């Protein structure tokens, strides 16, 4: 069967004739020249910086994460060899070649910034009611036995007892007869209480203190203020009335108890500088009692008048409530709650009562008489 000629497609491009060998050679030479130019241009350009955004499908190269080529945004001080700003330098004691070591045994307690007795040992406001010798702490260089012996010697020295008690001799008796000191003012004994002589300036023995309590008994500050009508400034004046300080028996943290000698308090209270005589003191005491009693009665009468006034007002309000309730309402009685002007009424319901006719429970307000019905399921 003979081959039939093919009909070319309508409107389409005609097929190109095959390339000659000369055309193929020229095209290959142009491709090689372009490839050589591209290689020379790539060799002349600097290597590109690693991209910050790496596609998730690609793996980063080792050079991009190695320490030799760390990015400038890496916050690692060990990789920085030279600071960018020469004015920013670390402190000398915090440099890398120095090591900061704290010795806690040499640190002092600052008490949180508050002043203490150690800062000002002579300030009496820093002291509490207890005696300072009881609050002292044992030094580090002393043993417990040495510290107890030191405290015992300190107490004996303060009380002038034991080895610190002054000696007694016949010469002291002769000297005491001349100047009135060194022997008891009542019996003439040389065994006097040296602490009383140092504080009160009175030479008296222990036996006379017990046998004559009307002169040598001790008074507290409250007794001297209430019985002899002395003021606080007078009791605080140690030149006028010396006092003996003792720890407070009620609580050790309270202020020390002040004890005064009875005959010294009476001498000052009965002197012309104060009341003049015991009769004048009694008259002043009665006068103050009368004034205090009248003041209390006046205060009581004022409160009683106020109570009567409030009672009359409440009675008037109850009568007004009874008038408003009308004939069928319950009269107001004493003890009922009185509603003030503008106050909202709150119902106070009584016990539920079953109504036999309707079979429902009823509750009644004990104040206004309002009734409500309840249905129990």
Quick: pLDDT tens for 161-200: 778 777 666 666 555 544 456 788 888 888 888 888 888 8
pLDDT over threshold 60, residue 53: no
Structural domain contains residue 217: yes
Domain assignment of residue 234, yes or no: yes
Domain assignment present for 17: no
- 200 within some domain: yes
Distance CA 147, CA 157 (A): 15
Whole-angstrom Cα distance, residue 255 to residue 259? 13
Instruction: Report the alpha-carbon angle 248-253-254, nearest 5.
Output: 50
- Evaluate the CA torsion angle 276, 278, 281, 283 in order and state its sign: negative
CA distances to 122, 156, 196, 338, 366 from 159, in Å: 22, 5, 10, 72, 79
pLDDT bin (cut points 50, 70, 90) of residue 27 is very high
More confident of the two residues 5 and 242: 242
Q: Is the pLDDT of residue 122 over 60?
A: yes
Domain count across the chain: 1
Contact 227, 213 (CB under 8 A): no
Distance, CA of 367 to CA of 348 (rounded, Å): 7
- Least trusted range by pLDDT, from 78-87, 100-109, 135-144, 263-272: 78-87
SS (H, E, C) 50-63: CCCCCCCCCCCCHH
Give me the pLDDT at residue 80, please.
54
Beta-carbon-side half-sphere exposure of residue 137 (alpha carbons within 13 Å):
5
Return left, alpha or beta for 342; rule: phi > 0 is left, psi -120 to 50 is alpha, else beta.
left
**Is the pLDDT reported for residue 261 higher than 80?**
yes
Look at 76 and 24; give whichever has higher pLDDT.
24
Is 159 inside any structural domain?
yes
3 state DSSP class of 275: coil
Average pLDDT over residues 153-167: 80
- pLDDT, one tens digit per residue, over 193-238 is 888 888 888 888 888 988 888 888 899 998 999 889 889 889 888 8
> Where residue 199 sits, what CATH number does that domain have?
3.90.530
Residue 250 lies in a domain: yes
**Mean pLDDT in residue range 106-129:** 75
Q: What's the chain's average pLDDT?
A: 77
d(CA 203, CA 181): 7
Residue 341 clears pLDDT 60, i.e. is over it = no
How far apart CA 172 and CA 161 sit, in angstroms, is 18
Structural domain span for residue 245: 154-172+180-286
Angular region, 113: left φ>0, alpha ψ -120 to 50, beta rest: left
Contact 177, 224 (CB under 8 A): no
In sign, the C-alpha dihedral spanning 170, 173, 174, 176 is positive
Most confident range, picked from 21-35, 93-107, 182-196 = 21-35
92 CB neighbour count, 10 Å cutoff:
8
- Give the pLDDT band (50/70/90) at residue 256: confident
pLDDT given for residue 293 in this prediction: 93
**Collapsing DSSP states into helix, strand and coil, what is residue 71?**
coil
Comparison of pLDDT for 336 and 275, the residue scoring more: 275
C-alpha distances (whole Å) from 152 to each of 127, 132, 329 are: 22, 14, 88
Strand ranges (E), the chain: 218-220, 243-246, 257-261, 353-354, 361-364, 371-374
How far apart CA 306 and CA 310 sit, in angstroms, is: 6
Which pLDDT band holds residue 109 (cuts at 50, 70, 90)? confident
Query: Which residue has better confidence, 41 or 81?
Result: 41
Find out whether 203 and 191 touch, Cβ atoms under 8 Å. no
Could you give the CA distance from residue 293 to residue 290 in angstroms, rounded to a whole number? 5
333: CB partners within 8 A, 6+ apart: 318
Q: Is the pLDDT of residue 132 over 50?
A: no
Work out the pLDDT band at 34, boundaries 50, 70, 90: very high
Residue 189 belongs to a domain: yes
Give the angle 166-168-171 at the CA atoms, nearest 5°: 120
* Residue 44, domain member (yes or no): no
Above 80 in pLDDT, residue 14? no
Distance CA 244, CA 217 (A): 12
pTM above 0.85, yes or no: no
For range 83-100, the mean pLDDT:
63
**Least confident interval from 20-29, 214-223, 367-376:** 367-376
Per-residue model confidence as pLDDT tens digits over 291-338: 999 999 999 999 988 888 877 777 766 666 655 554 445 555 555 565
Range of lowest pLDDT (138-142, 147-151, 172-176): 172-176
H/E element, 30: helix 21-44
């Amino acid at each position: 069967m003979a081959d039939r000629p093919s009909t070319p497609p309508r409107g389409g491009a005609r097929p190109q004739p095959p390339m000659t060998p000369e055309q193929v050679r020229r095209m290959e030479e142009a491709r090689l020249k372009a490839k050589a130019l591209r290689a020379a241009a790539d060799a002349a350009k600097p290597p590109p910086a690693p991209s910050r955004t790496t596609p998730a499908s690609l793996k980063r190269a080792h050079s991009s994460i190695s320490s030799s080529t760390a990015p400038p945004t890496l916050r690692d001080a060990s990789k920085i060899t030279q600071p960018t700003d020469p004015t920013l330098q670390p402190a000398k004691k915090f440099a890398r070649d120095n090591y900061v070591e704290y010795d806690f045994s040499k640190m002092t307690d600052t008490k949180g910034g508050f002043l203490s007795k150690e800062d000002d040992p002579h300030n009496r406001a820093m002291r509490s009611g207890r005696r300072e010798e009881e609050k002292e702490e044992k030094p580090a260089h002393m043993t417990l036995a040495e510290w107890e012996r030191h405290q015992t010697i300190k107490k004996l020295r303060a009380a002038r007892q034991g080895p610190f008690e002054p000696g007694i001799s016949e010469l002291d008796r002769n000297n005491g007869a001349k100047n009135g000191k060194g022997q008891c003012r009542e019996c003439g004994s040389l065994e006097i209480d040296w602490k009383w002589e140092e504080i009160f300036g009175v030479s008296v023995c222990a036996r006379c203190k017990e046998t004559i309590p009307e002169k040598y008994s001790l008074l507290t500050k409250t007794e001297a203020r209430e019985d002899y009508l002395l003021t606080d400034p007078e009791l605080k004046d140690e030149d006028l009335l010396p006092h003996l300080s003792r720890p407070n028996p009620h609580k050790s943290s309270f202020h020390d108890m002040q004890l005064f000698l009875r005959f010294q308090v009476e001498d000052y209270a009965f002197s012309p500088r104060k009341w003049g005589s015991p009769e004048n003191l009694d008259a002043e005491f009665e006068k103050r009692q009368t004034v205090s009693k009248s003041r209390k009665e006046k205060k009581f009468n004022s409160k009683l008048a106020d109570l009567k006034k409030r009672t009359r007002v409440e009675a008037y309000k109850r009568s007004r409530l009874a008038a408003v309730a009308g004939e069928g309402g319950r009269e107001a009685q004493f003890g009922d709650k009185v509603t003030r002007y503008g106050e909202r009424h709150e119902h106070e319901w009584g016990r539920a009562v079953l109504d036999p006719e309707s079979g429902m429970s009823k509750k009644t307000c004990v104040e206004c008489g309002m009734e409500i019905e309840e249905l129990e399921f």
